[in-house]
Amino acid sequence: MLTIALGSSKGGVGKSTLATNIAVELHDAGIPVTLVDAEEGSPTASLLEEHVPDIDTRAVSSQAETARIVDELRAAGRVVIIDSPGKTGRQLTAACMLADVFLLAMKVCERDLLQSGAALAVIRSCQLQHEGRPQAFIVYNETARDDAEASSFTRQLKPLGIPVAAARIRPQRTVRRNTTIMRGPLRTSGAASDIRSLVEEVIVPRLVAATQGGVNG
């Protein structure tokens, strides 16, 4: 129905955290969602299997397998979330080619800004080849709502043509390392409520369009 891919220019910026919590948010809203984990060792799928076993997950080990499984899941009317290593050109391109919505995770730091150009060029090239698909957004992770530098980043990123999502994901101090599921008491405040805002801003409108036949699949 709708395929959402996470990517980044470098590792460790929150792709898996966003993928996991977007999946939880959609699942809890009653939407049939599958998380496709293309990372080596499938850590995100394992984490979800352990903590939220009722969410469907698939571990994939090649780009061909990812494409085949995404096709199957789309045909079955499921929302698919692809969590990939995503920091190398080929993986980013592959995820981008499969996605209706592409979220480029970024921290507000100079190094991420400098490195983002190549990833944004891949996304733009994909959009030019596929009539604007995927719709892409930059998502600031671990960035406070009132972070002044973020606004300056947004101005610098504007000419590159990929919008920055208004929803920023705050640093969540209570998240234990590598246990990134924000559920239970965490869900109504902090980063989890930011994830909900992100879902409402960038995913729900496309989900509505897809169910009304606006997105092919």
**Rounded to the nearest whole angstrom, what is the least distance from the CB of residue 39 to Mg ion in the complex?**
5
CA distance 175 to 52: 16
Nearer residue to ligand ATP within complex by CB, 32 or 91 = 91
Nearer residue to ligand ATP within complex by CB, 42 or 215 = 42
Nearer residue to ligand ATP within complex by CB, 129 or 189 = 189
Of the candidates 206, 147, 211, 188, the one whose C-alpha atom is nearest the C-alpha of residue 5 is 206
**Rounded to the nearest whole angstrom, what is the least distance from the CB of residue 16 to Mg ion in the complex?**
3
Query: How many binding residues for Mg ion (CB under 5 A)?
Result: 2
Taking residue 142's Cβ as centre, other Cβ atoms within 10 Å add up to 19
Length of the chain: 217
12 binds ligand ATP (CB under 6 A): yes
Taking residue 174's Cβ as centre, other Cβ atoms within 10 Å add up to 10
Of the candidates 207, 184, 116, the one whose C-alpha atom is nearest the C-alpha of residue 153 is 116
141 binds Mg ion (CB under 5 A): no
Q: Give the pair of three-digit tokens for residue 144.
A: 């406070």
**Strand blocks (E) in 117-212:** 135-140
Given Mg ion, ligand ATP, none, residue 17, with its beta carbon under 5 to 8 Å by kind, binds ligand ATP
Stretch that binds ligand ATP, among 13-21, 45-53, 148-156, 204-212 (CB under 6 A): 13-21
Of the candidates 149, 187, 147, 195, the one whose C-alpha atom is nearest the C-alpha of residue 169 is 195
- Residues within window 64-93 making contact with ligand ATP, judged by CB under 6 A: 85, 87
Stretch that binds ligand ATP, among 48-56, 96-104, 130-138, 171-179 (CB under 6 A): 171-179
CA distance 130 to 57: 28
Binding site for ligand ATP (CB under 6 A): 8, 11-17, 39, 85, 87, 141-142, 169, 171-172, 175, 177-178, 180, 191
